Amino acid sequence: MQIYPTNESLLITLKGNRTSSTCPSCSKKSSRIHSHYTRKVQDLPIGEKSCELLILSRRWFCDNPDCTVKIFTERFDWLSSNGRRTKRTEEVLRKMAFSTSCLSAERLAKSAHIPVSHDTLLDLIHQTVIESEVSPFRGS
């Protein structure tokens, strides 16, 4: 891990160190590395500095001949498979977006050192699955 500070932000590099990974499609474990790639992800701020993670992760071969996926990427449980933010950052932004208007939430997030647009916050609202509950007082 390396940290590169600037005046307003921190860039932290992380490197995956697993010796194997499980295919997301067939759940077979693979230990054959295909290649490496980098991914930039927004995380919660540290102090008064916004924080970005530069993740150096691996692609793996799936050796299951019956699997439709031949190459897959390393998964992290704290990061959605195609997200640009950590799950905890998305949850904080989601709470901000649901508690006020997206324009106000954008200003609030920026003051909390989490740069985000109101359109992104609106997308987070639309992506959220809300379970509808039936009232126990509702007549039949």
| DSSP calls for the chain | -EEEE-SSEEEEEEE---S-EE-TTT--EE--EEEEEEEEEEEEEETTEEEEEEEEEEEEE---TT-S-SEEE---TTB-TT-SBBHHHHHHHHHHHHHS-HHHHHHHHHHTT----HHHHHHHHHH--------TT---
Residue 139 pLDDT: 62
Residue 82 pLDDT: 77
Q: Distance between CA atoms of 42 and 22, rounded to whole angstroms? A: 25
Four-residue CA torsion sign, 70, 13, 44, 111: negative
pTM of this structure: 0.77
The model's pLDDT over 84-93, given as tens digits with 9 standing for 90+, comes to 999 999 999 9
Count of structural domains, the chain: 2
**71 and 98 both lie in a single domain:** no
**70 and 89 both lie in a single domain:** no
The model's pLDDT over 49-82, given as tens digits with 9 standing for 90+, comes to 999 999 999 999 999 999 999 999 988 889 987 7
By residue range, what is the domain housing residue 118? 85-129
Q: 129 vs 117, which has greater pLDDT?
A: 117
The model's pLDDT over 124-139, given as tens digits with 9 standing for 90+, comes to 999 988 887 777 776 6
Does residue 140 surpass a pLDDT of 60?
A: no
**2 and 59 both lie in a single domain:** yes
